[in-house]
Copies of this chain bind each other. A is one copy, B any other.
Amino acid sequence: MTVTDIATRTYNHGWRLDPIIRSLLDTDFYKLLMLQMIRAFHPEVEVTFSLINRSKHIRLADIVDEAELRAQLDHAREVRFSKKELIWLAGNSFYGKTQMFSPEFIAWLADFRLPEYDLRKVDGQYELHFEGPWTHTTMWEVPALAIINELRARRVMVGQKRFSLDVLYARAKAKMWDKVERLQTLPNLRLSDFGTRRRHGHLWQRWCVEALKEGLGPAFGGTSNVLLAMDNDLEAIGTNAHELPMVLAALADSDEDLRRAPYRVLDEWRQVYGGNLLIALPDAFGTTAFLRDAPDWVADWTGFRPDSAPPIPAGEEIIAWWRERGRDPREKLLVFSDGLDVDAIERVYRHFDGKVRMAFGWGTDLTNDLVGCSPDGSRALDPMSLVCKVTKANGRPAVKLSDNPEKVSGEGEAVARYRRVFADHEIS
């Protein structure tokens, strides 16, 4: 006997929208940490974030309906932090520390809303920009990406039959659990979910996170998604991102200031946070230059998150640097988070096990791997490479060089200047 719940059914008839973003905590934890620091040091800076589709062959504007996209973005702008969420942010401990967020910051969040957006279609793609105070535009990055990724997936799945969808998710679950079983064999593994921005959808990310909690137990360190951390009593994971050195570099007046910008970021960061949060991101303008020019106190930090160079050489370079500076790598932490799949995790784990502490931030391959799962053999759900990056700060172009030529962002002239300033030679 199937009982149809008439009230639920009737309520559903009235849906105008199935909202993708239903909470401002449905974002990455490091966004909140960075936001608190931005408010403390750079409350007046104006920053533009822009959508960049690195998978240019996917004509997003031909797939995702503009009205639907606007409806989702508009809905996200209506969402506020709820009382429960703010109480949890204030009362929970993060990385072993209570009161990570100041009462003043929490009070400020209570009035927070996402700022306006600027959307247009150009040649089969969306141009989407968020312009305004850094303290507000920074918060668009993750929800904007999550919205576009999920809208694309929904569009692909519209009209699929009930069994096709059932089999699609059954295969995705089976595929995911096969990965969990492989990861279970790595005794010292420590891995977290970093997949919010690239997820197939919110509900699927939730399933993946809950599956990791049950399947990996203590090896599962937590999730970068603050909402899922709260709902599942998991650790919220994350520290900081490229936007900090990119904005501070853009604000630098001289080449010397530019060269010092990455360390200024770390200096501001350590004034706000300490301990396990002292994880440096070395690759904004090239890891080699970063290490070469770093002040000695950077070697006292807990660790690094190499994010664009191949992980084994990048880790070895950092380990050698620690040794040169007289630090013991076995007391240090490397966080790997760039395009990891289980093969890569196993390879990196086996290479570094016993040499350095490791943590893995598992993203797209965790929360958006439905590859090969569609009963119709379609590849339309394969993940795409979509980012939302700082493109301007106080009107000046923002640049990222990265260790990976495909991840360079910025205008040609500015990129050339950065290349010169961070070139592979000693500071004069």
Contact = CB atoms under 8 A, between A and B. Distances in A.
Contact of A174 (B167, B181, B214): B167
A287 B19 CA distance: 65
A264 interface: no
B173 A177 contact: no
A170 interface: yes
A123 interface: no
Interface residues of A, number: 24
A185 interface: no
| This chain: copies in complex | 2
A375 B184 CA distance: 12
A214 to B, nearest CB: 4
Contacts of A177: 167, 170-171, 375
Contact of A215 (B7, B163, B170, B214): B163
Interface in A323-349: none
Interface string A147-182: 000000000000001111011011111110100010
A3 interface: yes
A211 interface: yes
Contacts of A8: 3, 5
Interface in A95-119: none
Q: Which 8 A-B pairs have the closest CB atoms?
A: A170-B173, A174-B174, A163-B214, A171-B174, A170-B170, A167-B177, A170-B174, A5-B5
Interface of A: 3, 5, 7-8, 161-164, 166-167, 169-175, 177, 181, 210-211, 214-215, 375
6 contacts: A161-B214, A163-B210, A170-B177, A171-B174, A171-B177, A174-B174
